Chain A
């Protein structure tokens, strides 16, 4: 068989894997990159500040309470004299950590159930989808209140509740993707080649699905942060003294504080705002980078 018929006249491209292409496209999106850098900065601050700060989050000092931001306490102190700067970033750890945990579990459950649903169809699909619909139809807040009332509002409980209510969305996305991909001819080719079921799911289907899962996970982070804030406002979030951005903001319930003690609530508010916005922009940017319509 002659090779001379295929003189490769195309330029030699730098080897670009699929992910390489995606990252390249992402890097062109300036807003998304900016959001990414901001998030990295915030995460670094949350990691480092509580470690290097001379103050701990619990040390109270009644003599120094309610201080405005000054050189000693960069964000002032709260009503029992705790340093708000270190509390802010420690709170960041909790809020972001909580978000990460929730997103991790919701994706884990969602991907597993969604994959089974999409790949096998039939009864399995019917059962899982009905289950998903049941969870989706719960009024969110009511459910949270009930669970917290019964089981208390420790961090594990919160993670459990939020993940439980969020997995159906991921499952549906995964299922949808798998249904689409299953019809792709390369899946048929795999079957024709005798590739095993397991390999088809893990090597062929899931990696293609994962891209979308990552997008929705990123957007999910933003959601959880906001949800945690709302729950804290209702008194159902993480309880003090552990600080979260959500429960720090709820200091602003009182007109006096809003007017005169801005340093209690504005910094956590800004942190929430920035991180939510960055996660959203990053998530959108990733979705655009992944979207195959831009190819060819």
Chain B
């Protein structure tokens, strides 16, 4: 812990269409330490998925474009490395798990083959070695009868099993960074519990850093060490998971936590964030949350606040904590 594995500085990924420019990721900066789990939480359109796809340049260009910023992974700037080097890193040093296992697993290849592919490519294994290793990976993710499943096709497995197979595929090459994009959103609650439990166990074994993207605050609370809250392409708050839930500072975070009915308390009315999720084609000037913020001030509508780091490492981008002054960091 302590050494930065990934450092993203001022990342900007925009989409260009005849309707205008969509600033999907607008000046986003964050870091991930070795061995830690960063949870990225936000609602639709906040840019969390695009941010992570940008890490290995998976965004389709056109219409997307990496307009600016740096992504330093293990010393290399991912926005500048060659395509060949990028291919070496993808699936090997940085692995992904996606939301819909049916569409992220190739339906015409057997599970074993898909896992072996990565092994043969990145770890130079032979076909037999890779096959054996695939079975071992399937065991690792607690899939029953791995010797049989390795020869199954994706459609033969249930949603939870497919997601485990995806995890096996992602971990096969012992990546340094695992990016999980809403991996349990499409699963039933009890299956989700299984998969999250599995991921927690694996975390201890594999010592990879994890970026966990979700809109579900409960899952974030379970899985993360640190949490980053995004809104309309911007980072609004970053803090340890305990701080975020006990002491949320940004009005959006407060609202988000408040809007979910809590299992433990009785309430007759839910706290509500008024207004609608922002239209990225049509963002207001200044802070994108200003139209919905009950603590909005004039300055909020004019300029987006700089990020301020508070004493306990809690980072926040909000004029309430900025005293209206611009600080040079």
Residues in A lying within 8 Å of B, measured CB to CB: 4-11, 28
Q: Could you tell me if B18 and A9 are in contact, using CB atoms closer than 8 angstroms?
A: no
A28 and B274 contacting across the interface, CB-CB below 8 Å: no
Taking CB atoms, residues of chain A closer than 8 Å to B284 are 9
> A-facing mask of B292-304, CB < 8 A → 1, else 0?
1000000000000
Contact between A4 and B18 (Cβ–Cβ < 8 Å)?
A: no
Q: Is B276 an interface residue (CB 8 A)?
A: yes
CB-contacts of B47-84 with A (<8 A): none
Contacts of A8 in B (CB 8 A): 276
User: Which B residues are in CB contact (< 8 Å) with A28?
Assistant: 18
Q: Which of A5, A9, A10 has the most CB of B within 10 A?
A: A9
Option from B18, B275, B279, B282 in Cβ contact (under 8 Å) with A6: B275
Q: Across the A-B interface, how many residue pairs have beta carbons closer than 8 Å?
A: 21
Picked from B272, B282, B291, the residue with its CB within 8 Å of the CB of A5 is: B272
Q: Scoring B residues 261 to 275 as 1 if CB is less than 8 Å from chain A, else 0, what string do you get?
A: 000000000001011
Residues of B within 8 A of A (CB): 18, 272, 274-276, 279, 282, 284, 291-292
Query: Which secondary structure characterizes the binding site on chain A?
Result: loop
CB-based contact B276/A9 at 8 Å: yes
Extra contacts besides A6-B275, A8-B276, A9-B292 (16): CB < 8 Å: A5-B272, A5-B274, A6-B276, A7-B274, A7-B275, A7-B291, A7-B292, A9-B275, A9-B276, A9-B284, A9-B291, A10-B276, A10-B279, A10-B282, A11-B282, A28-B18
Contacts of B276 in A (CB 8 A): 6, 8-10
Of the A-B pairs whose beta carbons lie under 8 Å apart in the complex, a sample of 13, sorted by A's number, is A5-B272, A5-B274, A6-B274, A6-B275, A6-B276, A8-B276, A9-B275, A9-B284, A9-B291, A10-B276, A10-B279, A11-B282, A28-B18
Residues of B within 8 A of A5 (CB): 272, 274
Chain A nearest CB: distance from B259 CB in Å?
11
Residues of chain A within 8 A (CB-CB) of B274 are 4-7
Question: How long is the Cα–Cα vector from A214 to B293 in the complex, in angstroms?
Answer: 48
6 shortest A-B CB distances, which residue pairs?
A9-B291, A5-B274, A9-B275, A5-B272, A7-B275, A7-B274
* Interchain nearest-CB distance for B298 vs A (Å): 17
Chain B residue at minimal CB-CB distance from A28: B18
B256 to chain A, nearest CB (A): 15
